[in-house]
Structure 1
Amino acid sequence: MKSNWLLALQERMWGLAPWDASLISDEWFRAHFEYAADVVNQWIGSVLDVRTARFLNFGCGDGITDLSLVLRYGATSIHGVDIRREYTKLPRIAREQLGMRRIPSALTFETITPGAPLAGKRALVDGIMSWSTFEHVQRDQLAPILADLHSCLRPGGYFFIQIEPLFFSPFGSHLRRYDDVPWHHLLASEDELWSIIQNHHGPIDAAEVDFGFADFGVEGYKRFVFKEYQALNRLTADELVEFAQNAGFAVARQERRHVDMPIPAALKSQFADEVLLTNEIFLLLQKT
């Protein structure tokens, strides 16, 4: 990407680069540019002025949602951090999907080391957001990372977290691209799950194919997704709330979404229905 000062200069001279949402052809892009951005704005925009607030996106991925918040909702300062460098693809993705010639200067990105503290590196932010990231954080890092993010936030600021699917929900393995059997990850062995993935030769739902797929190839992507499954922290909604409160956050608002599916008898005696049927959590936290 071009340096941020040069992008800012171009915008002062010519404004934001033109974009056209009618060009969108990729379903992964559409889901994150439209749905995810709408949800983030609905939650964080209800308590902060998105146009003037400074934001940190923890686990920004490819940056598509951040781009949408700038283009569609007028955000002027979003710094995205991630342990991977998928955001480096954003200029190409925006060109292909929106016809954009340059990325807005409101967006900055940074690759971080897992568990490395962020507090003190930049000015305090007004808001933090995290979309389907915290299920991937190692469990022993949850408390220190949440405490660190608490320190990154100004007093009175807000932190929005979304997780979907939660691990114990029907497709909480994140393997639905290859295995459509509800709760199969709680019923089958890892060897059985890996065999199913290896033997999958059909198409993958376009909305589940991210822009990193081409980097791995078909077989490499299978291995990547399975390793991601093995590393999931198995966090429940209640545990997320508890971790957040222990880090000093107050719960301003939360919503839990449930699925309506018959629970296998083998799981009924092992887990509470609430744990098995809670598929998604939206959590708005405040630093008081």
Structure 2
Amino acid sequence: MSRLLWTLKLQERFFGRARWDPSQITDEWFRAHFEYAADVVQQWIGSALDVRTAHLLNFGCGDGITDLALVLRFGATAIHGVDIRREYAKLPRIAREQLGMQRIPSALSFETISPGAPLASRHQGIDGIMSWSTFEHVQRDQLLPILRDLYTCLRPGGVFFLQIEPLFYSPYGSHLRRYDDVPWHHLQVGEEALWQIVKNHEGPIDASEVDFGFADFGVDGYKRFVFKEYQALNRLNADELVDLVELAGFTVERQERRKVDLNPPPELLAQYPEELLRNNEVLLLLRKPQEQSMARSV
């Protein structure tokens, strides 16, 4: 147990959990992840296990806001978040500014990992794993190894809630809607033209799209950051994702593919299936079988 976690547990033992006040929320990014994202995670993973007693792992935890919400709003008692960036280090400040909390709950712990680094050697017997809009950022050659590693982290019968939004071929699958609101534009123009649109953008960004890392980069630096993220997208679609999770050994207990109510341009329909273009989000509830079996080989 880290010294910080030990200190938090000691404080809670003597003083109780820090008070929090949702009426203080002013940031739309925080609100979306504290309310909407947490609601969806609870609806899906909470339908398969009790988060109040489960040991949970969040793969791609980001700033940890959704983890915090699961603890405060739904009573989760053990969530370990992992990410390749340290955005979660901002959580104590964010919780203080948005909820008036003087300290984050001891139920939360976080870890920085290297891309593709295995977790199973350190995390075993996990009851539930969650991943929110993360797997579209994983390099193609790392997808199956990571899924197999997460499979190993779970106890037999454990569950994995995996969500991706937006999927690459959907209207805003570039993740650049902050700067370019033309649907499917990334499938219609070249990379250089797309960069010029982002680079030349002026004016405010939708508040719900401005994360807490924006200030670290500045206006121009953030444009470069999100464009590099666009270039690195793995372009995964829902069918490919389902094939991969099954190849890793999971059974799909439930899935939902959400579509946009937009009509793709005719020129794109000549190149891609309409289902692919309109499928904006995929949500999967996966389970590791009680009777463990070797995942199928590639």
Partner Cα separation in structure 1 for residue 127 and residue 262 of structure 2: 39
- Residue in 1 that maps onto 2:292: none
Partner Cα separation in structure 2 for residue 262 and residue 157 of structure 1: 39
Give the TM-score normalised by structure 2: 0.96
- Residue in 2 that maps onto 1:246: 247
Matched letter for residue 100 of structure 1:
M
- Residue in 2 that maps onto 1:50: 51
Partner Cα separation in structure 1 for residue 105 and residue 96 of structure 2: 12
Unaligned runs of 5+ in 2: 290-298
Partner Cα separation in structure 2 for residue 82 and residue 230 of structure 1: 20
Partner Cα separation in structure 2 for residue 119 and residue 180 of structure 1: 41
Deviations 1:197-250 (A, max 9, x none): 111011100000000000000000000000000000000011111100000000
Cα distance, 1:64 vs structure 2: 0.2
Matched letter for residue 254 of structure 1:
Q
Cα distance, 1:123 vs structure 2: 3.2
Matched letter for residue 246 of structure 1:
L
Relative to structure 1, the CA distance from residue 209 to residue 177 in structure 2 (aligned partners, 3 Å threshold; closer, same or farther) is same
Cα distance, 1:276 vs structure 2: 0.4
Partner Cα separation in structure 1 for residue 231 and residue 42 of structure 2: 32
Question: Which secondary structure state, in structure 1, belongs to the residue aligned with residue 135 of structure 2?
Answer: coil
- Residue in 2 that maps onto 1:200: 201
Partner Cα separation in structure 1 for residue 123 and residue 57 of structure 2: 10
- Residue in 1 that maps onto 2:165: 164
Question: Which secondary structure state, in structure 2, belongs to the residue aligned with residue 173 of structure 1?
Answer: coil
Matched letter for residue 28 of structure 2:
E
- Residue in 2 that maps onto 1:96: 97
Matched letter for residue 162 of structure 1:
Q
Matched letter for residue 243 of structure 1:
L
**Displaced runs of 4 or more, over 2 A:** none
- Residue in 2 that maps onto 1:174: 175
Partner Cα separation in structure 2 for residue 26 and residue 33 of structure 1: 10
Partner Cα separation in structure 1 for residue 265 and residue 39 of structure 2: 34
Partner Cα separation in structure 1 for residue 59 and residue 138 of structure 2: 11
- Residue in 1 that maps onto 2:293: none
Deviations 1:8-51 (A, max 9, x none): 11111111100000000000000000000000000000110000
- Residue in 1 that maps onto 2:215: 214
Partner Cα separation in structure 2 for residue 277 and residue 233 of structure 1: 18
Deviations 1:112-144 (A, max 9, x none): 000010002133200000000000000110000
Question: Which secondary structure state, in structure 2, belongs to the residue aligned with residue 81 of structure 1?
Answer: strand
Partner Cα separation in structure 2 for residue 253 and residue 136 of structure 1: 23
Partner Cα separation in structure 2 for residue 156 and residue 120 of structure 1: 19
- Residue in 2 that maps onto 1:285: 286
Identity %: 74
Count of residue pairs brought into register by the alignment: 288
Question: Which secondary structure state, in structure 2, belongs to the residue aligned with residue 3 of structure 1?
Answer: helix
- Residue in 1 that maps onto 2:64: 63
Matched letter for residue 265 of structure 2:
P
Matched letter for residue 78 of structure 2:
S
Contact 2:159 2:287 (C-alpha < 8 Å) held by counterparts: yes
Deviations 1:256-287 (A, max 9, x none): 10012111111111111110000001100000
- Residue in 2 that maps onto 1:3: 4
Unaligned runs of 5+ in 1: none
Q: CA RMSD in A?
A: 0.9
Question: Which secondary structure state, in structure 2, belongs to the residue aligned with residue 67 of structure 1?
Answer: helix
- Residue in 2 that maps onto 1:137: 138
Contact 2:124 2:152 (C-alpha < 8 Å) held by counterparts: no
Partner Cα separation in structure 1 for residue 286 and residue 151 of structure 2: 10
Partner Cα separation in structure 2 for residue 5 and residue 152 of structure 1: 24
Give the TM-score normalised by structure 1: 0.99
Partner Cα separation in structure 2 for residue 248 and residue 93 of structure 1: 38
Partner Cα separation in structure 1 for residue 68 and residue 269 of structure 2: 43
Matched letter for residue 30 of structure 1:
R
* 1:225 aligned onto 2:237: no
* 1:271 aligned onto 2:272: yes
Matched letter for residue 283 of structure 1:
L
